[in-house]
Amino acid sequence: MAKSPKKPKMAKKFKKITLLIPCYNEAKSIKKVIKDVPYRSLKQRGFEIEVLVIDNNSSDKTGQIARKLGARVVKEKKQGKGNAVRKGFRSISKDTDFVVMLDGDNTYKAYEIPRMIEPLDSGFCDVIIGSRLEGKINKHSMSMSHRLVNWAWTFFVRHFYGANVTDTCTGYFAWKAKSIRKLNGYIKSKGFAIEVEMITKLAKLKNRIYSVPITYDPRHGKSSSHLRPIGDGLKISWMLIKNLGWKPGN
């Protein structure tokens, strides 16, 4: 009896992660950030990942270094983290299942991406916030005054927005792609109020938001971040108050 022909093996379908890295003059750290992406570990879990660097009009070689390491690089000439993030959102490919965002200064750890993705992939929630306050803050990474203000803002978000988060100023996010598509177009911030704007509007859009602990290191090669404590602090506080009355379509 003739044997029936073997059926060709179906290629394994990987879920796609797009990693957004907004950067401004991060030539000293971007190589480390990209090299720490756990490609092999993610592949074993059934994911493929595309690294998308948003070069926010850097004057150094951030973009060139990222391209050499295989990243897709898009440029945003308008200065400000909010502008870079919006450019990143518009540049996400249609076949993306999950989106992760971290900064290009190596304060957040790319090798912790699997921890950020698991609650989304399991269906536990729609958005994950990487929490420094409940994670491992290494020496000289965050001043006590910044911690106290962040705790106050976090209490406000938990109490008035009902978002189960423990760090409102983190730069480490993970979303289901559908949550980004719902959010895209509603984000207006140009600078560092972008994180609080995203969290509060995601909550208003009825996304299920939770936090996981992460590692936070001092800014690579520099003693301070681009954040301006007084100016950006006032913008963040105003964003928290203003968005209490925000509704989709506003």
Each of the 250 residues of the chain gets a pLDDT tens digit; together they read 555 566 555 556 899 999 999 999 999 999 999 999 999 999 999 999 999 999 999 999 999 999 999 999 999 999 999 999 999 999 999 999 999 999 999 999 999 999 999 999 999 999 999 999 999 998 877 888 888 989 999 999 999 999 999 999 999 999 999 999 999 889 999 887 899 999 999 999 999 999 999 999 987 554 445 555 567 788 899 999 999 999 987 6
pLDDT at residue number 223: 41
pLDDT at residue number 249: 75
The distance in angstroms from the start CA to the end CA of the chain is 71
As a whole number of angstroms, the distance between CA 230 and CA 60 comes to 27
Say if strands 209-216 and 173-176 run parallel, antiparallel, or are unpaired. Answer: unpaired
pLDDT at residue number 224: 44
pLDDT at residue number 58: 96
Give the predicted TM-score (pTM) of the model: 0.89
Q: How many CB atoms lie within 10 A of CB 61?
A: 15
What is the DSSP-derived secondary structure letter of residue 189?
-
**What is the amino acid identity at position 242?**
K
Which CATH class for the 15-244 domain? alpha beta
Q: Is the dihedral of CA 22, 28, 30, 33 positive or negative?
A: negative
Per-residue exposure over 11-24, b if at least 16 CB sit within 10 Å of its own CB, e if not: eeeebbbbbbbbbb
Assess contact for 155 and 240: CB atoms under 8 A: no
As a whole number of angstroms, the distance between CA 168 and CA 116 comes to 16
* C-alpha dihedral, 183 to 107 to 125 to 236, nearest 10°: -50
pLDDT at residue number 3: 59
* C-alpha dihedral, 244 to 246 to 247 to 248, nearest 10°: -130
pLDDT in tens, 19-47: 999 999 999 999 999 999 999 999 999 99
pLDDT at residue number 192: 77
- Nearest CA among 156, 167, 148 for reference residue 214: 167
Which three-class secondary structure state does DSSP give residue 55?
strand
